[in-house]
Structures are given as C-alpha cells and as structure tokens.
Amino acid sequence: PMSTNAPSFNDALQVVEQLSIEEQEDLIDIVRHRVAEVNRQRLIDRVKEADEEYKAGKYSPATAQEIMREILE
C-alpha cells in the first residue's frame, strides 16, 4: 500500500540512477526477493482459502479431465 506522499515511479527511477551499479544490482536483488515473498504469501493465502472452501463442502474431488469438461461446457 502506498501512502499519498509516496514518490512517483519516475521519482524512484531518478533516485536509483544516482546509485552505483553495485547498489543498483543489490537493489534489484532485494526487490526480486521481496516480490517473490509477496507472491509466495499470496499463493499460501489462496491455498488456505481453497482448503477452507473444500472443507466447508463447496467443492468435491474431481479428476483433471472432469474439471476441464466442466470448464468447457
């Protein structure tokens, strides 16, 4: 979540350009790791939600073929 006083994307790029190449590479690594962690957490949340829905009886076991047949109908 960004605050209303957050720098613009262009502002951030201008700041990054002032860093050394090594610092830019470190920043890239840090951002990639943070994005990967956010994506992992999203996946964990989706799996938990699906598990809860399954346990609540919203879904029943099905083969991949059955699911595809249902999607294509």
Average pLDDT over residues 23-31: 98
CB-based contacts of 26: which residues, under 8 Å, 6+ apart? Answer: none
Each residue of 41-68: pLDDT tens digit?
Answer: 999 999 999 999 989 988 888 899 999 9
Mean of pLDDT over the chain: 92
Q: How confident is the model at residue 36 (pLDDT cuts 50, 70, 90)?
A: very high
> For a pLDDT cut of 90, what percent of the chain falls above it?
77
> For a pLDDT cut of 70, what percent of the chain falls above it?
95
- Which structure tokens are listed for 45? 């949340």
